[in-house]
Amino acid sequence: RHRLSSNEKLLLASMFHSLFAIGSQLSPEVGSSGIEMLETDTFKLHCFQTLTGIKFVVLADPRQAGIDSLLRKIYEIYSDFALKNPFYSLEMPIRCELFDQNLKLALEAAEKAGPFGPGS
């Protein structure tokens, strides 16, 4: 499986950031949110934007359930283990051990809750 480098991730994320903004502008309705879900045949991209403007993006199997609660759980993990770490600077890459550990646990729990087992 091809793993994206950090730079590639940053590039794609910033492109998605622009698409997200375009999404809400394209809407025929006023006050639309940005892109919440992007679906392809092999994956679904879920995006949750907080009121502070942070976007959490999860790529998952199209059949995977429980992503909404996963996104909110990740928001809690971010607010705990990144934001409450005094040595973490806002808007920088998150290199916090506790954040990674708790994120991993949350992802594993979400996978188990899905319609099929983990390790897919």
Partner 1 sequence: MSRPPGRKQENHKISRELFVLTYGALVAQLCKDYEKDEDVNTCLDRMGYGIGVRLIDDFLARSAVKKCRSYSETADMIAQVAFKMYLGVTPSVTCSSAAGNEFSLILDKNPLVDFVEELPPERASLCYCNLLCGVIRGALEMVHLAAEVTFLQDRLKGDAVTEIGITFLRKAEDRKHKR
| Interacting residues with partner 1 (CB under 8 A) | 21, 24, 34, 49-54, 72, 75-76, 78-80, 83-84, 90, 98, 101-102, 104-105
**CB 36, min distance to partner 1, A:** 14
In terms of CB distance, is 43 or 83 closer to partner 1? 83
**CB 97, min distance to partner 1, A:** 9
In terms of CB distance, is 11 or 105 closer to partner 1? 105
In terms of CB distance, is 4 or 21 closer to partner 1? 21
**CB 15, min distance to partner 1, A:** 16
Residues ≥6 apart with Cβ < 8 Å to 56: 47, 48, 49, 50, 71, 74, 75, 78
In terms of CB distance, is 43 or 85 closer to partner 1? 85
**CB 37, min distance to partner 1, A:** 18
